[in-house]
Amino acid sequence: MTNDNALMVESTISLLLLLIQVPATAILFSRLLKGPRRLAPIEPQQPTLELLGKVSVVVPTLNEALRISPLLAGLSQQSYEVREIIVVDSKSSDGTPDLVKATQQKDPRFRVMTDDPLPSGWVGRPWALHNGFLFSSEGSQWFLGLDADIQPHPGLVAGLVKTAEAQGYDLVSLSPQFILKYPGECWLQPALLMTLLYRFDPAGINTEQPERVMANGQCFLCRRSVLAAVGGYSSASGSFCDDVTLARNIAVQGYKVGFLDGAKVLKVRMYEGAMETWKEWGRSLDLKDATSRSQLWGDLWLLTSVQGLPLLIVLTFLLISPPHSYSLQTGLIASLPTPPLLLLGLNLFLVVIRFAMLIAIAPSYDRKSAKGGWLFWLSPLADPLAVLRIFLSAFRKPREWRGRKYSGEL
């Protein structure tokens, strides 16, 4: 191929990539610009008398004995705003109910119940939460769903309820501070998290479009009257991302839904190592159960354009691009035609944004006891892998979750 032909091919490919990436970059930039307007992170607060007995806490469990103890201890430190703490156990075989009963001896607000057999069309987690909601006191004004791996700080519930009431939320969930321990997850987990941050508005921004609402079921506060009005968790019965599905269904009904930064009030230890993070968290991040097919394809295009491709394109220019493109004396671009030059500039810009985002999310991670915690700063190198994970899960329905197998009826 002649030099002129090579330049023409390079320019054509660059133009095609620019057509794909420029609109996606504009969308990403419009979302990131909302960051300065977001609400401040939730702070722990002391309860006041008007909060007395306002909240029923429900925790779904299935073989959580190895990680539920910090949650039980943290919930015991919540004050009189918590009326009851209902642990809905799905026939654990590892002694999880015994740990709850031991805590109940010290704190009578705790109760443990076993949910009914899982009906056809239901996923285990929403079924357990639905049973807990039906079993909870009608005297409570708020329903708070918490996952067993959450580590709540004192003042979490009071701060959450006060913020929800002050802001007029009917439903509000929190993003936690993630605890990292092993090198692989320090590298992979932030890249997977970034797939969410790139698709949705920042935590603390009131999203106006119901289909773009984000939620986190690890800490999920909803007015009891609103949850009753939508039939509890029945509208998210078959969803593996029931939190987002339910939040969007509630937003469609005209209720105010919020997603806030909770890094100062709760931590979470989700998965042990990179492989478990890849398998368990990665297969729900696509949010396909709460998303239309067109929106899913749009999100895949966006992630590919602004997260999956930039580093690959920059490395391609540096390592594979023909020698005519560079000045060997200065190391600077010397004679790139305009389209390749624009493409390189755009992707360098996207890489800079990615590292800036890494700095921004650093407070969302507890790396104090992590082995290889420095790999967190190299997590942008895992971006193509993270985007690939979303593709792999986007078109495949899970058949096993947390040790439970599901039929093809879901």
The DSSP annotation for 251-298 comes to: HHTT--EEEEE-TTTEEE---SHHHHIIIIITTTTT-GGGS-HHHHHH
Distance, CA of 18 to CA of 68 (rounded, Å) = 49
pLDDT for residue 274: 93
Segment 309-324 shows an average pLDDT of: 80
| Average of per-residue pLDDT across 203-231 | 94
pLDDT of residue 330: 45
Mean pLDDT of 318-329: 55
Q: Determine which of 2-6, 49-53, 219-223, 334-338 has the lowest per-residue pLDDT on average.
A: 334-338
What is the rounded CA–CA span in Å between residue 59 and residue 277? 22
What percent of the chain stands above pLDDT 70? 91
CB 222 within 8 A of CB 133: no
User: Residue 340 is encoded by which pair of tokens?
Assistant: 């390749």
pLDDT score of 322: 52
Domain 49-176+216-285: assigned CATH number: 3.90.550.10
Mean pLDDT score of the chain: 91
Give the pLDDT confidence score for residue 386 in this predicted structure. Answer: 97
Per-residue model confidence as pLDDT tens digits over 335-376:
455 888 899 999 999 999 999 999 999 999 999 999 999 999
Q: Is the pLDDT of residue 242 over 80?
A: yes
Q: Which amino acid is at 322?
A: P
Q: Which of 75-89, 113-127, 247-261 has the lowest mean pLDDT?
A: 113-127
Please report, rounded to a whole number, the percentage of residues in the chain having pLDDT higher than 90: 77
User: 171: phi > 0 → left, psi -120 to 50 → alpha, else beta; which?
Assistant: beta
pLDDT of residue 148: 96
Strand 171-175 to 257-261 pairing: parallel
Per-residue pLDDT at 326 exceeds 90: no
State the CB neighbour count (10 A cutoff) for residue 27: 16
* 8 A C-beta contact, residue 309 and residue 198: no
**Contact status, residue 275 vs residue 184, Cβ threshold 8 Å:** yes
Q: Tokens 């075989």: give the residue.
A: 93
The SS3 of residue 173 is: strand
pLDDT tens, position by position, 49-86: 999 999 999 999 999 999 999 999 999 999 999 999 99
CA separation for the pair 138, 273 (Å, rounded): 41
Range name among 9-18, 75-84, 117-126, 172-181 with the lowest pLDDT average: 9-18
Closest CA relative to residue 305, chosen from 377, 380, 198: 198
Q: Where are the domains of the chain?
A: 10-34+295-398, 49-176+216-285
Query: Do the Cβ atoms of 235 and 68 come closer than 8 Å?
Result: no
Closest by CA position to 264, among listed 30, 76, 19, 39? 39
- C-alpha–C-alpha distance, residues 143 and 228, integer Å: 10
Pure H helices in 112-269: 124-135, 156-167, 183-199, 224-229, 242-252
| pLDDT for the residue 397 | 75
Residues making up the chain, counted from first to last: 410
